[in-house]
């Protein structure tokens, strides 16, 4: 796997020792933990893709100590931050170096019951969304789920701030961009998964829960 030496972060991150702190994660981690905590099955095994600073994983694990959470990130500095948190939380495993653009990433992924991906698919190529759906179809159990969080477009109902954000992202990288919800649904539908729940979140974000048809 080619090591990603430059983290994909759209904001300056604070540091305390090995731990990184994201301003946006600081604002949204509690509501995300509440939302996920209400939906993840008891004692389930979670694989998180693109865990970043590890703040979301930490918040969910503290709220739900029954979960077994495996974080991952392609960036070594982010993994060091997650590892520092995992040393303090029993149900948060050390992070894996997973990159969904690597062909063999699925072989390195552990068995899990649910896949969680927070604020990733808009700062990655569409192939990452396709990889998430492919993993769900081939590796998750029949009662499993995929939970995505982030900004999405909804045609004429799209929030103006999300349209502006999309344009800004595409100036940074033409393969990035806030995704149309219908396009994401189509990717998962192509693998036999449906959108089971759409949850409105603060700041024009959504939490999406996909389950097998």
Instruction: Tell me the domain boundaries of the chain.
Output: 15-212
Q: What is the mean pLDDT of the chain?
A: 95
| pLDDT of 1 strictly over 80 | no
15-212 topology per CATH: Rossmann fold (3.40.50)
Check if the beta carbon of residue 10 is closer than 8 Å to that of residue 3.
no
Average of per-residue pLDDT across 64-78 = 98
Over the stretch 26-57, which tens digit does the pLDDT of each residue have? Answer: 999 999 999 999 999 999 999 999 999 999 99
Of residues 8 and 7, more confidence is placed in 8
pTM: 0.93
Residue-level pLDDT at 4? 46
């Amino acid at each position: 796997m080619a090591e990603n030496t430059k983290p994909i972060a759209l904001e300056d991150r604070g540091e305390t020792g090995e731990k990184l702190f994201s301003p946006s994660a600081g604002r949204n981690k509690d509501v995300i933990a509440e939302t996920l905590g209400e939906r993840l099955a008891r004692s389930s095994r979670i694989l998180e893709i693109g865990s970043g600073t590890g703040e979301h994983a930490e918040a969910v694990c503290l709220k739900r100590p029954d979960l077994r959470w495996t974080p991952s990130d392609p960036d070594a500095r982010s993994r060091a931050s997650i590892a520092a948190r995992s040393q303090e939380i029993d149900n948060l495993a050390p992070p894996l170096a997973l990159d969904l653009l690597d062909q063999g990433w699925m072989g390195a992924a552990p068995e899990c019951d649910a896949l969680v991906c927070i604020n990733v698919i808009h700062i990655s190529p569409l192939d990452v969304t396709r990889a998430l759906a492919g993993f769900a179809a081939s590796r998750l159990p029949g009662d499993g789920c995929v939970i995505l969080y982030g900004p999405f477009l909804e045609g004429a109902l799209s929030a103006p701030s999300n349209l502006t954000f999309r344009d800004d992202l595409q100036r940074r990288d033409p393969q990035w961009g806030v995704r149309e919800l219908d396009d994401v649904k189509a990717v998962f539908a192509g693998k036999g998964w449906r959108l089971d729940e759409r949850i409105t979140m603060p700041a024009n974000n959504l939490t999406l829960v996909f389950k097998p048809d």
